[in-house]
Amino acid sequence: MPIADVALDWFERNARDLPWRVPGVGGWPILVSEVMLQQTPVSRVLPVWTEWVRRWPTPAHLAADTAADAIRAWGRLGYPRRAMRLHACAQAIVERHDGEVPSRLDQLLALPGIGDYTARAVAAFAYEQRHPVVDVNVRRLVARAVSGAAEPGPATTPADLALVEGLLPAEPTVAARVSAAYMELGAVICTARNQNCPDCPLTSSCAWLAAGRPASSGPTRKPQGYAGTDRQVRGLIMAELRASSSPVTADRIETLWHLPEQRDRALASLLADGLVTRTGPGRFALAGETSHRSAVNVGE
């Protein structure tokens, strides 16, 4: 049996019950889920996604609020620039597409903050189009099952897209489901650290398994720590700004971290990223903050 048929059969019986997979959920909730899921586990995304689509069920709802509202609602999901990009994306959808998430790949790619992967994912999962949807989970699955390699390359290449596209059925609707199946297999079965080969439906045809599961020949990537890093300090500053209904003073920020040089570096990077703005001498607020906080604050 072709790999697509096997993966799809497994997916139809074992796919996780996720709200953005509900038939007819729409392009906007799917787009939001894809942005939130970047480098973030499903378990952390679920509650934030639920609140976002409740509060902002359409791009127009989000575009009508401020970037600060989006950042505040992002809470501690991590990489808060994604919240700003979603806000800018919502504004662009309203301005260019009458508030409807476009279905054409070129139009999706033209939206701010939407890259190759997200555009293809939305086109496939929201509009049932035939596109190779290639994230790290898919690359790892295909590297093992088809190419016999322990790990994929460090980034998606045109060759990866061509290889995955060749593994998709011709019918667009079926191809979209197969794309979801490949992602699911890579996320829950053929994972980076714990390969569950006994439960994998591709066992009989897996090139990596047939080769004796050879180890990766590339450099080992150690998980990035968090405690004591600039990321932690940035998070502390962002948490303080999210919790405040008025600009936060430099004196208050000084109390958040004991190393002045690192604290100043973290604050400078937040300013450079556009997540934080100066509202006056020694006073800081979230980007796009208005004088009145929204009545509904999510993620605090």
Q: Which residues participate in catalysis according to the annotation?
A: 34
Distance (Å, whole) CA 150 – CA 162: 20
First to last CA, the chain: 50
CA dist 5 and 240 (Å) reads 50
Extract the tokens encoding 207. Answer: 């090139």
- Per residue in 187-196, is it b (16+ CB within 10 Å) or e — as a string? bbbbeeeebe
